[in-house]
Chain A
Amino acid sequence: MNNLALKELLYKIADDQLILGHRNSEWTGFGPLLEEDIAFSSMAQDKIGQSQALYTLLHQLGEQQPDTLAFMRNANQFHNCILVELPNGEYDFSLIRHFLFDTAEAMRFELLSSSSYQPLAELARKVRSELRYHTLHANIWMKQLGSATEESIQRLQRSLEFALPYALGMFEKSPYESDLIAQGIFEGEEALAVRWKKKVEDILQQTSLHLPEWKILTPVLGGRVGDHSEHLQPLLDEMSEVFKIDPQAEW
């Protein structure tokens, strides 16, 4: 088994979960209604917990301790897609991102549940059932607000068009893509993107939102190789502040 390929895969998934988990947690206390405050906070807890489990797999493959991996790397050492590091903006953008990301993430873990790397397959079987609640939540709100008032439709439409090129960046290919596929570790970004587009089309068809043609969109790439937007480093600085002051702190 190609360990470099496997590690690269684990890093990007773990980093996606950690960074979006942190962004979700920024809604704590600020949700547009109490239920949404609780929902985004719960999804934050799920995602950060899942990232910890993935960093633990990396640690078992010889990488640093999970906390060190989460708190001590600089932005250019993170492999998350740029979509997840973008600021929360208004609720409409957070909802669109939640829908586009979690639809892909649920499918990614579905594929990984039959990975030839057993520790990852075991974890994926667990995580995929948890993510059902995330996609259920996203789909309900997309369907409701995506066909509600003129303002809600307009806001979601604008955020959708802004987010889609970043969302396509989720499927930026790994240099080890063919190894991962050949060794049965992961079916690959292309296979995932095909399934994701179909699901996104299916949900959006049940709303008044308009999906632009895929072929006119240019994916925003770079995140997987550490080439991030200006928004990631400030997020990392805030997230790691306590750990850097006192690595032994318990809270």
Chain B
Amino acid sequence: MQTPSVNDIYTWLEAVKDPEIPVLSLVDLGVITDVSVVNGAVKITMTPTFVGCPALEFMKNEVIEVLKKHHIEQFNVEVNFKTPWTSDRISARGRAALKKYGLAPPPARQVFTDLEILEHAPCPRCNGTKTEIKNPFGPTLCRSIHYCHDCKEAFEQFKPL
């Protein structure tokens, strides 16, 4: 078969979603840190959002499945921390998808100096700012729990990291 380009591979990877947030692709989440094609061999480097993320193995297998589906025989999917994941790696499209899904996107990292910024995360449903943090830890390692006094609903935020 024809050798795929790096762009082709990124396009294929759009189909692989975060298992906990099915609207967000691994590319938009920012966990794919490098893709290269050398003499037909595909090399993909990934990094976890949190070191202890239990979904990483699952995501890695999904990436391998996608490569196999496109008949790639020579591939290497590696996990390392050379380019560490930060919440700033989530793409603009990813941030919009999070908000639509009901998860507040993380604020930019440079404004995250202490808990203040987590204190009043804007509500992803009503955009209200009369909110408070209930817990810096949530249902997954990457989410915190908040409450909106405007629409009187609890919501979660993707944590800045």
Does B bind A?
A: yes
**Most B CB within 10 A of own CB, among A46, A123, A133:** A133
A-side contacts of B137, CB under 8 Å = 35, 38-39, 41-43, 133, 137
Tell me how far the C-beta of A121 lies from the nearest C-beta in chain B, rounded to whole angstroms. 9
Q: Is A77 in contact with chain B by the CB < 8 A criterion?
A: no
A-side contacts of B108, CB under 8 Å = none
**Most A CB within 10 A of own CB, among B51, B82, B141:** B51
Cα(A38)–Cα(B47), bound, Å = 25
Q: Are A136 and B136 in contact (CB under 8 A)?
A: yes
Number of A-B contacts (CB under 8 A): 67
Tell me how far the C-beta of B53 lies from the nearest C-beta in chain A, rounded to whole angstroms. 7
Q: Is A199 in contact with chain B by the CB < 8 A criterion?
A: no
Q: Are B51 and A126 in contact (CB under 8 A)?
A: yes
Q: Is A167 in contact with chain B by the CB < 8 A criterion?
A: no
Q: Is A174 in contact with chain B by the CB < 8 A criterion?
A: no
Contacts A38-B137, A122-B80, A126-B85 given; does A46 touch B52 at CB 8 Å: yes
Q: Is A53 in contact with chain B by the CB < 8 A criterion?
A: yes
Q: Are A130 and B50 in contact (CB under 8 A)?
A: yes
Q: Is A49 in contact with chain B by the CB < 8 A criterion?
A: yes
Q: Is A50 in contact with chain B by the CB < 8 A criterion?
A: yes
In chain A, residues 42-67, which have Cβ atoms closer than 8 Å to a Cβ of chain B? 42-43, 45-50, 52-53
Q: Is B75 in contact with chain A by the CB < 8 A criterion?
A: no
Q: Is B91 in contact with chain A by the CB < 8 A criterion?
A: no
Which one of B47, B54, B115, B136 contacts A45 once the chains associate, using CB atoms below 8 Å? Answer: B54
Chain A interface mostly: helix
Q: Are A122 and B141 in contact (CB under 8 A)?
A: no
Q: Are A35 and B135 in contact (CB under 8 A)?
A: yes
Cα(A45)–Cα(B52), bound, Å = 6
In chain A, residues 130-152, which have Cβ atoms closer than 8 Å to a Cβ of chain B? 130, 133, 136-137, 140
Q: Is A7 in contact with chain B by the CB < 8 A criterion?
A: no
In chain B, residues 119-161, which have Cβ atoms closer than 8 Å to a Cβ of chain A? 134-139, 141, 145, 159, 161
A–B Cβ pairs within 8 angstroms, 29 of them: A35-B134, A38-B135, A38-B137, A38-B139, A38-B145, A41-B137, A43-B137, A45-B52, A46-B50, A46-B52, A49-B50, A49-B53, A50-B51, A50-B52, A52-B51, A119-B81, A122-B81, A122-B84, A123-B51, A125-B81, A125-B84, A126-B84, A126-B85, A129-B161, A130-B51, A130-B161, A133-B159, A136-B115, A136-B136
Q: B residues within 8 Å of A by Cβ?
A: 47, 50-54, 80-82, 84-86, 114-115, 134-139, 141, 145, 159, 161
Q: A residues within 8 Å of B by Cβ?
A: 35, 38-39, 41-43, 45-50, 52-53, 119, 122-123, 125-127, 129-130, 133, 136-137, 140
